[in-house]
Amino acid sequence: MTVATLADVLQPALRDGYAVAGLVTLGWEDMCAFVEAAEIEGVPVILQAGPGCREHTPLPVLGSMFRYLAEQATVPVVSHLDHGYTFDECREALECGFTSVMFDGSRKPLAQNIDETAAIAELAHQASISCEGEIGFVGYAEGEASAGTDPVEAARFARQTGVDAMAISVGNVHLQQDTSGGLDEPRIRAIEKVTDVPLVIHGGSGVPVAQRIALANSSSICKYNIGTELRMAFGEALRGAVNRDENRFDRVAILKDTHVPMLQACTRVLRSMGYVSGRMAEKTI
């Protein structure tokens, strides 16, 4: 079945040593390109609706769009709420057909984060969908500073919340436009020693490709969230489409010209997830 939950795609990734791309979507055009790229590569994909996307398009609409693409796809597609901040928002996503919700209580005290995440994980599991939580705080490039994940707190968080995936802060930041940094591998090793929950890296665009692949193959990191590098590719493609002809005005015609560049950008991302079998093993980055 191509309509998949987060647990459906992350447990095989944990077992077999690869990661699945959580792709941040903003509209129909990129969603279609992401699913097509996943079908070409023969790999699962996670379509994510973050806060920015939800400001532009209501959850019921996004749920229907994701569900339609998942039902038509030839590979597993997860419909994922990214950075849900309230119980009600996560419940609405569930009711709108999402197959996975991420509750972000990372700014809250540990005990509160655990209690609220556990309640949402229970809600999700009662509906046979998945829940991701975050322990530690993943900051923002030129914005809020990160607070690294403490392994002892991570073990308690995983045990007491029952989440299907755990986002951690190990040198990653949101909205980073280059890969000059890197992840704190000793901290990752310390975390995976105390829990067997699949680990998630938010801000995956800032992680060097070689490190993405190596950690996907050798650690419990099973999901990289990728947004910035794909948005940058879309912006470049859109500027090119508009500027090629100053007399063009048809929105659909202009947006069609972004499809191939987005398909190519997404393919590069999918090939950095460390797949070690099937078609992906035969391809080069």
Provide φ and ψ at 205, rounded to 5°: -60, -25
d(CA 104, CA 237): 32
Residue type, 285: I
Do residues 131 and 100 make contact, with C-beta atoms less than 8 angstroms apart?
yes
Residue type, 99: T
Using CA atoms, how far residue 11 sits from 15, 40, 235, in Å, is 6, 22, 34
Q: Residues 6 or more apart from 150 whose CB is under 8 A from it?
A: 135, 136
d(CA 63, CA 76): 16
Tokens (6 digits) for 13: 């990734």
Residue type, 256: K
3-state secondary structure of 102: strand
Tokens (6 digits) for 134: 């975050």
Active site residues: 82
Q: In which region does residue 142 sit, left (phi positive, over 0), alpha (psi from -120 to 50) or beta (all else)?
A: left
Look-up of token digits 């999402």:
98
Residue type, 269: V
